[in-house]
Amino acid sequence: MSLNSLNYLWRLGGTGIAFAALFGGGAILALTAFPIVHIVTRPGHQRRERNQFVIHYVFRFYVRMLQLLRLIDLEVQGAEKVQDAFGRLIVANHPSLLDVVLLMALVRRAQCVVKKELWESPFLGRLVRSAGYIRNDLAFDEMLIACRNALAEGNSLIIFPEGTRTVAGGPMRLRRGFANIATHLQARIQLVTITCEPPTLVKGEKWWMIPPRRPCFRVDVGDCLDTGRWLDCKYRSLTVRKLVRHVEEYYVQRFSGR
């Protein structure tokens, strides 16, 4: 058997173990570390914050494990812009299943807007609820209140404006939710670009459909937008459209410059 074949089999087996650890480990975490936090911390902001710190450090360990096992390579530019950032919307594209893990490993105090399915997941549901994450099917007024509270507590809010992973080879299609939240709350937007070559864990692919060589993830923390620039429009709907268009053009430029 050739060296390339052995390497492929190693990555295939390692990916299966890592995939199981991500979901099974989340359930174990919710049943072990979080109950300890709950015993020693009163309900409320401090408990959520400690749960978020636990997730942050566990994900840092997880990403480092993937690198040490040579399942992925990782390059990060501008990490200092988000490591101690607070009160921002962190907006990123979403090419891979690992994107949220990479961002949570970078940002110490973060909450996420998550799908209803993840909120109710038997594996990770308890984890995301304990950390105070926000489900994406809330009515807009409820969503706005939840986001305002998260930012007021000093957290950054991670949002993938596409709403789901990017379809491989397809254009980015941004929903307006992030821009509505940003303009209502006058929150700063930290733009992050994530790429993966060759692509892996993309939408529509099973975990075992790994690429022929080890993927390299690149996380580039770029511009931070002051939402106030767009608030001079007479109608909020126009403000939101202009902001969405600006972010779309930003990503087009980023990807065309690769």
Sequence ranges of the domains in the chain: 3-256
Burial class (CB in 10 A: 0-12, 13-18, 19+), 137: exposed
Task: List the beta bridge partners of residue 90.
Answer: 158, 190
- CA gap 174, 171 in Å, rounded: 10
For range 187-209, the mean pLDDT: 92
Higher pLDDT, 23 or 169: 23
CA–CA distances in Å: residue 39 to residues 28, 29, 34, 45, 76 = 17, 15, 9, 15, 36
pLDDT one-digit tens code per residue, 203-239: 888 888 999 999 999 999 998 998 877 777 667 788 8
For range 197-208, the mean pLDDT: 89
CB-CB neighbours of 23 under 10 Å: 13
pLDDT one-digit tens code per residue, 138-148: 999 999 999 99
The b/e string for 233-243 (b: 16+ C-beta within 10 A; e otherwise) is eeeeeebbebb
What local confidence, expressed as pLDDT, does residue 1 receive?
65
CB-CB neighbours of 40 under 10 Å: 8
For range 67-94, the mean pLDDT: 91
| Unique residue bearing structure tokens 């911390």 | 41
Predicted confidence band of residue 173 (pLDDT cuts 50, 70, 90): confident
* CATH class held by domain 3-256: alpha beta
13-22, 68-77, 149-158, 221-230 — most confident range: 68-77
Quick check: 113 and 136 in contact, CB under 8 A?
A: yes
